[in-house]
Structure 1
Amino acid sequence: MIDDPLLHRAQALHLHGLVAHWAEVAGQPWVEALIGWEAQERQRRSLERRLQAAHIGSFKPVCDFDWSWPKRCDRAALEALMTLDFLKEAANVILIGPNGVGKSLWAQNLAHQALLLGATVLFTTAGQLLGELAALDSDSALRRRLRHYAAPDLLVIDEVGYLSYGNRHADLLFELVSRRYQAHSTLITTNRPFAEWGEVFPNAACVVSLIDRLIHNAEVIAIEGESYRLKEAKERSEQRAKRRRKKTEDNL
């Protein structure tokens, strides 16, 4: 085989026509550019497909996160997550805090960063995930869907704790977490400390085991404070009130 890096790149891209005529085109100045364009376009299309499949939705970038707002927040730990070292270790991430403190913002940014670095990602809410799994009425369909959720390098389950679930939901979540355990990373956002998960899954026998699997080799980060969304809503309301007062004054 010819020891030509460009030829190896063409073969890796499955450019069979180009490879078949390599002896004729090798050394032509346009060959390297052509291979580069093809590689870039495939990377772009791959990212586009994975973004669509990930279902991250629209989100604010972490540069918009107001570090002065939370009452308590480990900034160094949160910023370290953006290196995605936890993915290399198949470690989990648990973000704990009340509604509106930025847990979902960080989860979405981490999911997006993982996609940019080539990882497979799936973003869902606990309600959507558990509702879908519990509604499946055949074992074969359930197994297929569990494989779907168990496969990504990073699975994000948002909003655990906002609703309460039955024993079947708890068992399904435990099954999914067990399938991903020490193989792929799971990121969970929750408004409940683990001591209150018995209220999220009342009477479920697997809650202790579920928490144990999640937190083993996990980064657990708490964000404390009042809702930033509520703060923004109040500010918008005050701005609208000021505009109305000014308009009234101008009309006098």
Structure 2
Amino acid sequence: MLTHPTLDQLHALGLSGMARAFQELAAASEADGLSHPEWLGLLLDREISVRQDKRLAARLRVAKLRQQACVEDIDYRSPRGLDRAMMQKLIMGGWIDAHDNLVLVGPTGVGKSWIASALGHKACRDNRSVLYQRVPRLFSELALARGDGRHARLLRTLGRADLLVLDDWGLEPLDAAARHDLLEILEDRYGRKSTLVTSQLPLEGWHEIIGDPTYADAILDRLLHNAHRIALRGESMRRVRTKADVNA
């Protein structure tokens, strides 16, 4: 008779995880041997797990990562210059706590976006806020926002995330508005938040793609001064997998 009132109270308090655990324990014969502290511990463990899952799902919805990727699935066997020891340090997330940046460069298809998504997913699991943006689309969105009054709000959003992933940087030269916006974003984040950049363009070409020398110096100083760098190489992993499928 006490089961239903208790469940009603748990649901009324928003403790859905504890409510489900209560039902399961009440229906399990082996639960009869549990002490009151053990019962309570199991209920609390379930509630904590449910809340963590909800928080992760919410962070992933906001992050909008490009790919569903997890750091546990990173492929270290393919010959692309990916150092396992360095990656393990990055996975731990200390660089985000230190507000450092990370730069991933390499030819198309070697897994830059996938690794960036995996690190973003791990940051979400670590209860950090993450935001993913493809650079060409971001600058188009900022140009539209400048015209409809959302520009300042969008810049604030980009500045707040614990980790901002800027994917596909350097595909096309920046115009004056894009240069200004990028400098504002990096200025807001420098020393306060972390930025992860992926690019097909080698670092020595970044100055030219920005265009204006003064802006280029300012942007690259804020982006690269405290950046960890990974230069990937090798054949496209998509092409390698296609060959493997054909030969299987």
What TM-score bracket applies, with the shorter chain setting the length? 0.7 to 0.9
Question: What one-letter code is carried by the residue in structure 2 that aligns with 1:129?
Answer: L
Tell me the percent identity: 33
Question: What one-letter code is carried by the residue in structure 2 that aligns with 1:44?
Answer: D
Partner residue in 1 for 2:78: 68
Q: State TM-score, norm by structure 2.
A: 0.77
Equivalences for residues 11-30 of structure 1 within 5 A:
none
Partner residue in 2 for 1:108: 117
- Shift in Å at residue 213 of structure 1? 0.4
Partner residue in 1 for 2:30: none
Q: State TM-score, norm by structure 1.
A: 0.76
Q: Does the residue aligned with 1:206 lie in a helix, a strand or coil?
A: helix
- Shift in Å at residue 195 of structure 1? 1.9
Aligned counterpart in structure 2 of residue 84 of structure 1, from 73, 87, 93: 93
CA distance in 1, matches of 2:74, 2:83: 17
Q: Is the 8 A contact 2:102 2:228 kept in 1?
A: yes
1:99-155 Cα offsets, whole Å, 9 max, x none, are 111111211111111111111111111112111112223585211000111111111
- Shift in Å at residue 14 of structure 1? 9.0
Question: What one-letter code is carried by the residue in structure 2 that aligns with 1:114?
Answer: A
| Structure 2 segments unaligned to the other structure (5+ residues) | 1-12, 16-34
Partner residue in 1 for 2:31: none
Q: Is the 8 A contact 2:67 2:114 kept in 1?
A: no
Partner residue in 1 for 2:178: 169
Q: Is the 8 A contact 1:166 1:204 kept in 2?
A: no
- Flag the 1:203–1:217 CA change in 2: closer, same or farther, 3 A: closer
Equivalences for residues 231-250 of structure 1 within 5 A:
231-236=240-245, 238-239=246-247
Aligned counterpart in structure 2 of residue 96 of structure 1, from 105, 114, 119: 105
- Flag the 1:32–1:73 CA change in 2: closer, same or farther, 3 A: closer
Question: What one-letter code is carried by the residue in structure 2 that aligns with 1:67?
Answer: R
Q: Does the residue aligned with 1:94 lie in a helix, a strand or coil?
A: strand
Q: Is the 8 A contact 1:98 1:224 kept in 2?
A: yes
Partner residue in 2 for 1:135: 144
Q: Does the residue aligned with 1:136 lie in a helix, a strand or coil?
A: helix
The alignment's C-alpha RMSD in Å is: 2.6
- Flag the 1:101–1:156 CA change in 2: closer, same or farther, 3 A: same
Does 2:127 match 1:118?
A: yes
- Shift in Å at residue 78 of structure 1? 2.3
Partner residue in 1 for 2:158: 149
Aligned counterpart in structure 1 of residue 206 of structure 2, from 197, 204, 218: 197
Partner residue in 2 for 1:218: 227
CA distance in 2, matches of 1:196, 1:179: 24
Q: Which moved more, 1:171-180 or 1:196-205?
A: 196-205
Q: Is the 8 A contact 1:178 1:213 kept in 2?
A: yes
CA distance in 1, matches of 2:148, 2:190: 22
